[in-house]
Structure 1
Amino acid sequence: MRTAVFALTEAGAQLARRVGGALGDQATLFVSSRHATLGVQTFGRLREAVQENFHRYDALVFIMAAGIAVRSIAPYLVSKLEDPAVVVLDEQGRHVISLLSGHVGGANRLTRALAAALGAEPVITTATDVEGLVAPDALAAELGLFPESHAAILAINSALLRGESISYYVDPACALASFYREELARRGLTVRGMAERERETGPQVIISAACTEARAGRLFLRPMALRAGVGCRRGTPKEVILAALKEAAARIGMPMEAITSLGSTVFKREERGLHEAAAELRRPLYFYENNALQRIIEQYGLRESDFVRQTIGIGNVCEAAALAAGGGRMALGKTRFEKVTVALVWQQRQKWQESQ
């Protein structure tokens, strides 16, 4: 999850460095110019920094009063299905507060992770989390699914809080149907046969890319595209590339089969290993021109490697290639494996299809 961390004071800047250490390469620190220090970006006005970066990152962390954070983000909010995760910390690092997009955006997960890393108290107010219930939209975020619609999320979660039984269904036509069934069972959820859904009148959650029979109390969870951006050394064999992809997918709790496409730079279009790996996975392989990847690097403020830039002309391959076809949420930032780097991005399938 690419995260922007904002701090206003000296104490906030010190805590921001701890937050950056906990989040690793996926964190970019933004500190008021009054407290400039090496290794961070600076800003003059917080509101302008937020405006510039609100849509660049998957998550925003504010080390300041919650009221300041709320006023800063208010003009840019759209919906819980589109807004980035927003988390607030006090300057002493005593509390980590999940403020916005707790489930779909992943703010609750980020809050727990930061609290554990900093020895702080996580503050999560989402009703289903407070009651210890498995919310379908939180489940969707964990399994690479996109919930439809906003109204259906509210209806299903309200029914869950009232103690009503939620029926789950998995369309057997889904490529990962068996994986979804196993994950639901692992969470203690019973999966019913698809044929039963019309006979059942209670709240329903349906994992399907195709079913569209909308009705009150029915929530669809749509499988998202998982785009892999890949960089590799010259002559890397397919076995090494496939091993890297498998491990990358495992790190986000998914099977390698969840990957829907591979992307890289045109400088790698003659790499036999990449072509053979894509062929074995039966997934499309795209090669992007450097100018297209450079636009992505600038659009998302991606970190660049001087060595890679000197070698092929741009300083980021895997993250830029993963984001090149319409953006999305970073599931796994640039990760190094043997002779291979991989980045993974979740993208709604409709947006992915429109970009091709």
Structure 2
Amino acid sequence: MNSLRTAIISVTAHGAQLGQALRAHLTSADAVVSSQVVCFEKEGRTSGASATTFTSMKPHMETWFTTYDRLLFIMATGIVVRMIAPYIKHKSEDPAVVVMDEQGQFAISLLSGHLGGANEWTAEIAEVVGATPVITTATDVNGIPAPDVLARKLQCKVEDFTTLKEVNAALVAGETVPYYIDDTLYFLHHYEAVAKAQGIELIRFNPHTVTGKALLETGGAEAPPVVITDLILPTGPRTLVLRPPTMVLGIGCRRDTAKELILTAISESLANVNRSPKSVASAASVIVKADEVGLLAAVKELQWPIHFFTQEEMALFIEQSQLEESKFVKETIGVGNVCETTALLQAKSQTLLQTKTVYPRTTVAIAQVQSK
């Protein structure tokens, strides 16, 4: 997992000192997750250590909320609730928010407890300062492994949040929820190990067999099942599908190609390999497309990150992998293979699920992610 961006915000001198102590821990080797930590301290009530000062929180709140993965507020809970309320969107987007009093007596998981990791983070920082962790999500207080926690651990996206609520309700009600995993996934053994560490046993199924397909359609149990796969498969109406990040889409396009044409090419490519767009880890292209309006708009709409490679990086890879090049494209931008090369580079892979496929003004290749 990449280093998390963390902000610690305090409004008293004692709170600022507490924040600095936590900053030291969160950037140390003992931290559960590596973190890039910035302390924000109120003017006139600072710790004296390295920090960014502010006079009022309100002008900065939207930036903090949208920039950082985790926010720790050392102050009264009521202040925090009022400040963050206008910016709360959805559990799939909101940062983890934890509140702690300036004496370090209580640490409260306030927002994004599961997908954002606020519950685990609350327990971690409470242990560091000797605080009492306050966690109120039903699965946690009942000691039940939750599918959204597993989703975060596996870096999966949740297909349907309505179904997620239904599964969590079934777990709290004492029902046994089965967890199934597509045994064709590249990181199968890693997923199984992570799930086992969470107290969850994954049941393997083969999506290409009659038995595997029947299992998905029926659910195999009375309780709503959880399925981990990147494939588009028929499932029962109460099935929660978790989408692991398994693909990179390399995209080439002509100058000023419309967003709609690129989105159509992407959609048809994913349909071609029968994969979910929620399992796309990233898009990739050549650096000369970094200002391509249609491409940037398309990946923004899909909520995908995109990485742009230089011609030098691509040329070396093309030579080493002996990839076929287009003479016209090479004369235009300096390298003759954009979509396959950038997809494989970003996926750190040698496996293409879809080779270069030509669409109107666009080319798309899909690479299997083969490195964590």
TM-score (norm 2): 0.61
Identity within the alignment, %: 36
**Cα 1:178–1:38 shift into 2, 3 Å:** closer
Tell me, yes or no, if the aligned pair for 1:261 and 1:284 is still in contact at 8 Å: no
**Cα 1:212–1:46 shift into 2, 3 Å:** farther
Query: Which structure ranks higher in relative contact order (CA pairs < 8 Å, sequence separation ≥ 6)?
Result: 1
SS of aligned partner of 1:81: coil
Q: What's the counterpart of residue 128 of structure 2?
A: 117
Q: What's the counterpart of residue 68 of structure 2?
A: 57
- 1:114 deviates by 0.8
Tell me, yes or no, if the aligned pair for 2:177 and 2:223 is still in contact at 8 Å: yes
Q: What's the counterpart of residue 197 of structure 1?
A: 216
SS of aligned partner of 2:170: helix
SS of aligned partner of 1:72: helix
Q: What's the counterpart of residue 5 of structure 1?
A: 8
Separation (CA, whole Å) in 1 of partners of 2:313 and 2:152: 33
Separation (CA, whole Å) in 1 of partners of 2:126 and 2:316: 45
Q: Among residues 122, 126, 137, which one is paired with 2:148 in the alignment? A: 137
SS of aligned partner of 1:45: coil
- 1:43 deviates by 1.3
Please say if 1:210 is aligned against 2:225. no
**Cα 1:76–1:210 shift into 2, 3 Å:** same
Separation (CA, whole Å) in 1 of partners of 2:173 and 2:315: 56
Aligned length: 254
**Cα 1:77–1:214 shift into 2, 3 Å:** farther
**Cα 1:50–1:212 shift into 2, 3 Å:** farther
* 1:262-296 superposed Cα distances (whole Å, 9 cap, x missing partner): 969859849979x979x9xx97336xxxxxxxxxx
Matches within 5 A, 1:168-317: 168-186=179-197, 187-193=199-205, 194-195=212-213, 196-199=215-218, 200=220, 201-213=222-234, 215-224=236-245, 269=313, 284-285=344-345
Separation (CA, whole Å) in 2 of partners of 1:151 and 1:259: 23
- 1:215 deviates by 4.5
- 1:27 deviates by 0.9
Q: Among residues 61, 66, 84, which one is paired with 2:77 in the alignment? A: 66
Separation (CA, whole Å) in 1 of partners of 2:129 and 2:311: 42
- 1:155 deviates by 0.3
Tell me, yes or no, if the aligned pair for 1:167 and 1:192 is still in contact at 8 Å: no
* 1:131-162 superposed Cα distances (whole Å, 9 cap, x missing partner): 11110001111111112211111100000011
Separation (CA, whole Å) in 2 of partners of 1:110 and 1:198: 37
Separation (CA, whole Å) in 1 of partners of 2:150 and 2:16: 34
Letter in 1 for 2:245: M
Tell me, yes or no, if the aligned pair for 1:260 and 1:284 is still in contact at 8 Å: no
Separation (CA, whole Å) in 2 of partners of 1:172 and 1:260: 23
Tell me, yes or no, if the aligned pair for 1:185 and 1:191 is still in contact at 8 Å: no
Separation (CA, whole Å) in 1 of partners of 2:90 and 2:165: 13
Which entry has the higher C-alpha Rg, 1 or 2? 2
User: Structure 1: which 5+ runs fail to align?
Assistant: 228-257, 287-349
- 1:259 deviates by 8.9
Tell me, yes or no, if the aligned pair for 2:170 and 2:223 is still in contact at 8 Å: no
Separation (CA, whole Å) in 1 of partners of 2:63 and 2:314: 38
Tell me, yes or no, if the aligned pair for 1:83 and 1:101 is still in contact at 8 Å: yes
- 1:48 deviates by 1.5
Q: What's the counterpart of residue 147 of structure 1?
A: 158
Q: What's the counterpart of residue 57 of structure 2?
A: 46
- 1:119 deviates by 2.0
SS of aligned partner of 2:189: helix
Q: What's the counterpart of residue 15 of structure 1?
A: 18
Instruction: Extract structure 1 runs of 4+ deviating beyond 4 A.
Output: 258-268, 270-273
SS of aligned partner of 2:217: coil
Letter in 2 for 1:202: A
**Cα 1:56–1:260 shift into 2, 3 Å:** closer
Tell me, yes or no, if the aligned pair for 2:216 and 2:235 is still in contact at 8 Å: no
TM-score (norm 1): 0.63
Tell me, yes or no, if the aligned pair for 1:261 and 1:285 is still in contact at 8 Å: no
Q: What's the counterpart of residue 324 of structure 1?
A: none
* 1:91-111 superposed Cα distances (whole Å, 9 cap, x missing partner): 001111111101000101111
Q: What's the counterpart of residue 119 of structure 2?
A: 108
- 1:50 deviates by 1.3
* 1:239-281 superposed Cα distances (whole Å, 9 cap, x missing partner): xxxxxxxxxxxxxxxxxxx9989969859849979x979x9xx
**Cα 1:82–1:260 shift into 2, 3 Å:** closer
Letter in 1 for 2:67: R
